[in-house]
Structure 1
Amino acid sequence: MGIYGQDWASYQSSTPDTTGLSFAFVKVSQGLTYTNPEWSAQRDHARAAGLVVGYYHYPEMANSPQQEADRFLGLAQPQVGELVCLDWEGYDSANEAVAHSTQLSYKEAWLRYVKSRLPHNPVGLYCNLEYWQSIDTTGYVQDFLWIATSGLPAGQPGINANWLFHQYTDSGSTDQDYCHLASTAELRSWAGSFSPAGPPWPGEYLKLQTPMLHDGNVRTWQQRMHDRGWPLTVDGWYGQQSDHVCRQFQQEKGLTVDGIVGPASWAAAWADPVS
């Protein structure tokens, strides 16, 4: 179970085929001077097709990470719920002479700085297996890891780290990607959960169990669902009524229907449109 997407650069048209896709990452910039001439048209095309949109920057790591990030962000200006990523690799003349220690420090600084500028967007790292195993020493990816291991089956990148996206092939005209979340709606809800619109998921799965779950997190979720118009008693007990409402809500939002309030279902309770 999972969903599929692609990553686009100037090698692709301004309107790639989006059939069967849930998300697309668009290259915006490289270094301090290059801008993908197709990026804004590709973004608009992805939005119009209902895809979850991500933006990425390819670095020239002898430069200042903050300067490169500022230029990238000035171009991309992502909306709430859209993803931002550093394409951390250096197989080109601008990076081949840069020491690995400098490449690592660039990665750390870029991610932290961009997250400080975009606290309400998911910020993550793209890298291939060689960079992940040989150059990275910290495992720091900020909010998500997009790992490239071409030639392995989609969703089987061959690493033990907690990845979200897998680029499983770079052959052909377009790179192909996989996300282990169950649906476009679940990815959208996860990305939207960084918005200040509601409280963060408390880290507890709210579900029907024995003995019955009773705490403040249940009450907070019940109150929110009640405020959205669902017929739910706000008493802090996660019983049959809560389970039933949760399943109906998950079905309506295109989430996995299991009656469990996890990160995606929690985020959806505070997301628009209200229903």
Structure 2
Amino acid sequence: MLKAIDISSLQIHPDMDGVNVVLIKASEGRTYANPRRYAQEKAARDGGRQVGWYHFLWPGNIQAQAEWFVRCADPQPGDVLACDWETTTSRTAATCAEKDAFLAAVKKLRPRLRIILYCNLDFWKRHDTTSQCGDGLWIADPGAVAGKPRVKHPWVIHQYGIRGGQDVDVCNFASVQAWKDWAGVPKTPTPYVPPAFPPGLAPGKSKPSAKPLQRALRAAGFLQISDANLSDHYGTLTQAGVGRFFDAHPQFRSKNRQHDVAIGPKGWAFLFTVAYGRK
């Protein structure tokens, strides 16, 4: 399981050591915004941690609260959003129907992001009547062992206690990558690595590597050749294709050779990148 913390403006310098996920209070009601949220977000992202945002839900004005939340959080692709459903400082609480409506409203505003429900055992077992928790349940059960909350419903986060003045949680994922896959964090493209330049490749010679060269020239638009005519011979057709490649990218032509048709390691690498490495 992954380690997480959830923080608000009360945590001026939150301890993120060893933490995989940081859940930040963004807003409350229709007017309050955590003044430290962007500094906390930067600290989390700079440390390579996954980010989530939560909104403390009040009764009434559900659509306005949802719009205020996404504006204050300014979530990035792959961030997780959460509805914090509990008793307010006025000893009131949103109804179960209002909680459900807020989850739906946020999902409509940010359909590509995960929206989950945070609540304690009392709210989940005594106030909830629909078991609606969006994309996952974040359960507060500080009386239970970390990772073993006393609920039957599947859960994604368990808030199990307080350490050093901040709430501590575990996320029900085997790895950070599993969290990223669930949250929809955009994948970083794998950089294209061209094949190594084959020794002995030269005009007029026959080498098996001539066929990959011909295919790359064809894919990059410098050579028209059918599969049936692919050859191990670096002949005139291939040389003409290399010449057209050099015309388009003269920086790879040998110095003082206007009619160069011998591709070298740098030209080879660039050609293959043009042919296969650019999306």
TM range (shorter): 0.5 to 0.7
Q: What residue identity is the alignment partner of 2:54?
A: Y
How far apart in 2 are the matches of 1:44 and 1:129?
32
Cα 1:132/1:152, change in 2 over 3 Å: same
Q: Report the CA distance between 1:172 and its aligned residue.
A: 4.4
The corresponding residue for 2:68 is: 71
Q: Which residue of 2 aligns with 1:153?
A: 145
Query: Partner letter of residue 5 of structure 1?
Result: A
Q: Which whole-Å CA distance do the structure 2 matches of 1:116 and 1:91 have between them?
A: 25
The whole-number CA distance in structure 1 between the counterparts of 2:161 and 2:15 is 17
User: TM-score by structure 1 length?
Assistant: 0.66
**C-alpha displacement at 1:177, in angstroms?**
0.3
Partner of 1:4: 3
Partners of 1:48 and 1:151 in 2: how far apart?
33
Q: CA deviation at 1:91?
A: 4.0
Deviations 1:128-154 (A, max 9, x none): 000000000110111011000012110
Give the counterpart letter for 1:4 in structure 2.
K
Q: How many residues align?
A: 193
Q: Is the 8 A contact 2:67 2:109 kept in 1?
A: no
**Residues of 1 paired with 2:99 and 2:167: CA distance?**
22
Q: Is residue 2:52 matched to residue 1:54?
A: yes
Q: How far, CA to CA, are the matches of 1:78 and 1:162 in structure 2? A: 25
The answer to which structure, 1 or 2, has the higher relative contact order (CA under 8 A, 6+ apart) is: 1
CA drift at 1:170: 3.4
- 2: distance between equivalents of 1:90 and 1:135? 11
Q: Which residue number corresponds to residue 83 of structure 1? A: 80
Give 1:120 deviation, angstroms.
0.6
- Against the structure 1 CA distance between its residues 111 and 148, is the aligned structure 2 distance closer, same or farther, given a 3 Å change threshold? same
* 1:106-143 superposed Cα distances (whole Å, 9 cap, x missing partner): 10100001101111100010000000000001101110
Deviation at 1:171, TM superposition (A): 5.8
1:36 maps to which residue? 34
Pick which of 169-178 and 128-137 moved more: 169-178
After superposition, where does 1:195-274 map in structure 2 within 5 Å? Answer: none
**Partner Cα separation in structure 1 for residue 152 and residue 83 of structure 2:** 21
2:158 aligned residue = 166
The C-alpha deviation readout for 1:93-113, integer Å capped at 9, x for no partner, is: 0x52x5xxx511110100001
Equivalent position of 1:251 in the other structure: none
1:184 aligns with 2:176: yes
Aligned to 2:89: 92
Aligned-residue identity in percent = 37
Letter in 1 for 2:76: Q
Partner of 1:213: none
SS class of match (2:95): helix
Equivalent residue for 1:136? 128
- Determine if the alignment matches structure 1 residue 126 to structure 2 residue 118: yes
Q: Which ranges of structure 1 fall in alignment gaps of 5 or more residues?
A: 198-224, 230-273
The amino acid that maps onto 1:71 is: W
What RMSD, in angstroms, separates the aligned Cα atoms of the two structures? 2.4
- Higher Rg: 2
